[in-house]
Amino acid sequence: MNENDTERMLAFLKDHRYRPTDTPDRADLILINTCSIRDKAEQKVYSTAGRYKRLKRNNPELVIGISGCVAQQKGGELLKRMPYVDIVVGTHNIHRLTELLKRVREEKTQVVSTELYGSIESGEFPTPEVDGVKAYVSCMRGCDNYCTYCIVPYVRGREVSRPHRDVIEDIRRLADRGIKEVTLLGQNVNSYCGDVSFPELLRMVCRVDGIERVRFLTSHPKDISEELIYLFGEEEKLARSMHLPIQAGSDRVLERMKRRYTVKEYLKKVSLFRRLYRDVSISTDMIVGFPGETEEDFRETMEVVRTVGFDSIFSFKYSPRPGTEAATYTDQLPEDVKQRRLEELQATQREITIRRNRLLVGRRMKVLVEGESKLDRTELTGRTTCNRIVNFPGDKGLTGSMVDVTIRVAYANSLRGEL
Ligand code: SAH
Ligand code: SF4
């Protein structure tokens, strides 16, 4: 989501002749795009901004801006804490960026733009500025779910979907630039509520010439319909992987999180997927140490982890976020309990991931080649339909094509194969 916001900023700035640079000390503008999902991400903002402050001494014309969720959440407070910051631009105001920059330069003033809007203005979502073979395209923004731990609804606003024509138009343009894989993005992408249904939107995306693979992120378990599950059997371009955050394996915790599904309902959907599609990979997000999570609740989570056998898990220690309901719960857990549970979950998952990766050894899989491997320039890197990274020897001229690779070795985070 944040990467996509960065690409949108690049698209707006490009029209005003800005170009990205790798050398901050030569930059005219430094934008720090921020995340506030957990406290650690928020704290990083202050240390990062502090590092850039000194650059203003050599270059008084340098403009420093803070964008994204921390900007949205803190607004003008950031200017008090960091008086050397010039621009604070919230999550719904990215399209104002160049106008704000102009004001800073001409009026020599600091500016804050953090209004949240109930609808999407035209031009707010330019075609993202990307190169390579894959791109993210937002089809909705915001969230109305108010899970009790989560800050997203407060910093990203209400759930609004883009008209399907705009989304398809973006994807056509990206396909014209050589993009082969698109990921439809939204906080709850499968709750898409535009002028067509989400499965219909996916069907249309699969029809765009030049696009060879389609993914979507992130899905809310309560809104996974059978129609969506069966679509994977009809649309060959739809990648066989699903990120489906469960968050916890105990119904009592899920209820206090206000997730609106039970473990049983979740398992039913996952087992239908696995039954229908041999190669599908299921990944998830988990929070450990939610307020009041007992040892018994945590055991239930571990049980679900073993039962499902997730291909991968993004796991986090619960982090209280200002303004959210769960931050006011009085049964917060100590840090050492959260840490121990996180380590146990991650150790178990590591074994499961390797075991699941090993099942692929000897199989021949379609891989979309993304380019040279960063670790070894003689190798190529790409991803399988089930979203595994595969490295294999090959010519970089194959970048952007779909090739058959036989998997030879499985590691924890990647596979090795040969053409
Ligand atoms: N919309 C998606 C997730 C968005 S946030 C969904 O509903 O699943 C990405 C992930 O961050 C969440 O899935 C959750 O696991 C984690 N997360 C959100 N708030 C958190 C908090 N306060 N502490 C720890 N992890 C959190
Ligand atoms: Fe946060 Fe819940 Fe919305 Fe996901 S669904 S963004 S976890 S409030």
Q: What is the model's pLDDT at position 122?
A: 82
125 belongs to a structural domain: no
Residue entry with tokens 């378990």: 221
CA distances from 343 to 191, 311, 318, 354, 412 (A): 33, 18, 13, 17, 16
Distance, CA of 68 to CA of 356 (rounded, Å): 36
Q: What is the CATH number of the domain that holds 401?
A: 2.40.50
Distance, CA of 262 to CA of 246 (rounded, Å): 9
Q: What is the model's pLDDT at position 129?
A: 85
Q: What is the model's pLDDT at position 201?
A: 98
Distance, CA of 388 to CA of 405 (rounded, Å): 12
Instruction: Please tell me the number of the ligand nearest to residue 2's CA.
Output: 1
Q: Is the CB of residue 188 below 6 angstroms from any atom belonging to ligand 2?
A: yes
How many folded domains does the chain comprise?
3
Classified as helix, coil or strand, 368 is strand
Out of 1, 37, 185, 216, mutate this one to test ligand 1's pocket (max ligand atoms within 8 Å of CB): namely 37
126 belongs to a structural domain: no
Q: Whose CA is nearest to atom 5 of ligand 2?
A: 145
52 belongs to a structural domain: yes
**Which runs of E-coded beta strand occur in 258-355?**
281-288, 312-317
Residues 273 and 399 in one domain: no
Helices (H) and strands (E) in the chain, counts: 14, 17
Instruction: Please tell me the number of the ligand nearest to residue 285's CA.
Output: 1
Residue entry with tokens 């099942």: 359
254 belongs to a structural domain: yes
Q: Whose CA is nearest to atom 2 of ligand 2?
A: 147
Q: Would you say 41 and 35 are in contact if contact means Cβ atoms under 8 Å apart?
A: yes
**Which runs of E-coded beta strand occur in 213-363?**
213-217, 241-243, 281-288, 312-317
Which of 78, 113, 148 finishes a domain?
Answer: 113
Nearest ligand 2 atom to the CA of 247 is: 7
Q: How far is the CA of 368 from the centre of ligand 2 (A)?
A: 31
Which of 358, 378, 401 finishes a domain?
Answer: 358
pTM metric for this prediction? 0.95
Q: What is the CATH number of the domain that holds 190?
A: 3.80.30.20
Give the domain range for residue 7: 2-113
Q: What is the model's pLDDT at position 104?
A: 96
Residues 369 and 354 in one domain: no
Q: Which residues contact 229 (CB under 8 A, 6 or more apart)?
A: 269, 272, 273, 276
Residues 288 and 411 in one domain: no
Residues 332 and 379 in one domain: no
Which of 81, 113, 145 finishes a domain?
Answer: 113
Share of the chain above pLDDT 90, in %: 95
Residues 175 and 308 in one domain: yes
Counting as low any pLDDT under 50, the low residues of the chain are none
Residues 349 and 370 in one domain: no
* Tokens (6 digits) for 337: 């309990």
Neighbours of 29 (CB within 10 A): 19
Q: What is the CATH number of the domain that holds 8?
A: 3.40.50.12160
CA distances from 6 to 34, 112, 128, 334 (A): 10, 18, 9, 35
128 belongs to a structural domain: no
87 belongs to a structural domain: yes
Q: Is the CB of residue 324 below 6 angstroms from any atom belonging to ligand 2?
A: no
Q: Would you say 404 and 364 are in contact if contact means Cβ atoms under 8 Å apart?
A: yes
Residues 195 and 326 in one domain: yes
- CA atoms 173, 177, 178, 180: torsion sign: negative
Q: What is the model's pLDDT at position 345?
A: 98
Residues 195 and 323 in one domain: yes
Q: Is the CB of residue 158 below 6 angstroms from any atom belonging to ligand 2?
A: no
Residues 192 and 277 in one domain: yes
Residues 285 and 395 in one domain: no
Distance, CA of 267 to CA of 245 (rounded, Å): 12
